[in-house]
Amino acid sequence: MDKRPIGIFDSGVGGLTVLREIIKKVPAENLLYFGDTANFPYGTKKLEDVKMFVFKIAEFLYSRDVKLLVAACNTASAAALDDLRSSFNIPVIGVIEPGAKAAVKVTKNKRIGVIATEGTVKSAAYDKAIHKTDKEVSVFSRPATLLIDYIEKGVLDGRQLEIAISECISPLVGQDIDVLILGCTHFPLIEEQIKACCNDGFKIISSAEETAKEVARILCLQNIENTSGVRASMVFFETGFQSRFLEIGKRFLGDDIKEIIRVDLGAQT
């Protein structure tokens, strides 16, 4: 039995989709969530800068005795996952590898689309992860910065969002994809809207759901599951002053999120 918490982090609220799926898979686990809202968005920043932010967050969570780290952000995973794994003596899980493996497993025509941040697309992280499993798959990636901005502002439905989704995904549909990876943890918040705009023409892979499956697998494999039977706790942190973290979080976590503790990462070493 291991009652230590799992640490989960993202640049904003998107990683809450991963947290929600983790709750479904391993409801007994205590969770710490960190949203770096002061530095949002990561996707338009240099990967070396993202790596610096990520290590400060990881050190903050590690100092609180987490037993596992989840980089619930595709850009953070692309920028720092390997270095995190070599720097901390606990398991570190990203969101790119689980989604890539799931997509390769279900594609029939070996044509996979990816929507992600600009940083993730430029890093070609999904291309590398997919080709690591199957070199014959063709990958078509599109940055979707506008969709992420809408979600972070709480625009989760409406005609404006539908138009943005259509403009983003139509070029991928034109490439005859049969699988679409939601390559940003924000996107599961608008998964139903994406399905509605695309007439279910392809299989959608949620990086949040696949990452939660990997978390459950690693906890079992390493024998670090919490089997105490005590009600799990959740604590939320953020760096920004004027984000809509609490408001958006309540829309899909309800009363499970009551307050956000502000942290100054500049004070961390």
Residue 106 has pLDDT above 90, yes or no: yes
Using alpha carbons, select from 136, 126, 133, 137 the residue that is nearest to residue 207. 126
User: pLDDT digit string (tens) for 178-204?
Assistant: 999 999 988 988 999 998 877 667 999
Structure tokens at 260: 């956000």
Predicted confidence (pLDDT) per residue in 232-266, tens digit: 999 999 999 878 888 888 877 888 888 999 999 87
The pLDDT score that the predictor gives to residue 242 is 79
Examine the fold and report which residue of 207, 240, 255 is the final residue of a domain before the chain moves on.
207
Distance (Å, whole) CA 188 – CA 186: 6
| Inter-residue contact 70 to 215 (CB < 8 Å) | yes
Q: Do 247 and 199 have their domain in common?
A: no
Q: Count of domains in the chain?
A: 2
CB atoms within 10 A of CB 89: 7
CATH code for the domain of 43: 3.40.50.1860
Residues 34-54: what's their mean pLDDT?
93
Residue 90: phi, psi to the nearest 5?
Answer: -135, 160
- Each residue's pLDDT tens digit, 27-42: 999 999 999 999 988 9
Is 198 one of the catalytic residues? no
Sheet holding 111-116, edge to edge: 138-143, 111-116, 179-183, 203-206
Pick from 178, 213, 208: nearest CA to 191 = 208
73 as an active site residue: the answer is yes
Flag whether 1 is in a domain: no
> Out of 168, 184, 197, 198, which one is annotated catalytic?
184
Which residues make Cβ contacts (< 8 Å) with residue 170, sequence separation at least 6? none
Confidence of residue 269 (pLDDT cuts 50, 70, 90): very low
Q: Token match 């720097």: residue?
A: 87
Active-site option among 73, 168, 198, 220: 73
Residue after which a domain boundary falls, among 156, 177, 207: 207
Whether residue 157 has pLDDT greater than 60? yes
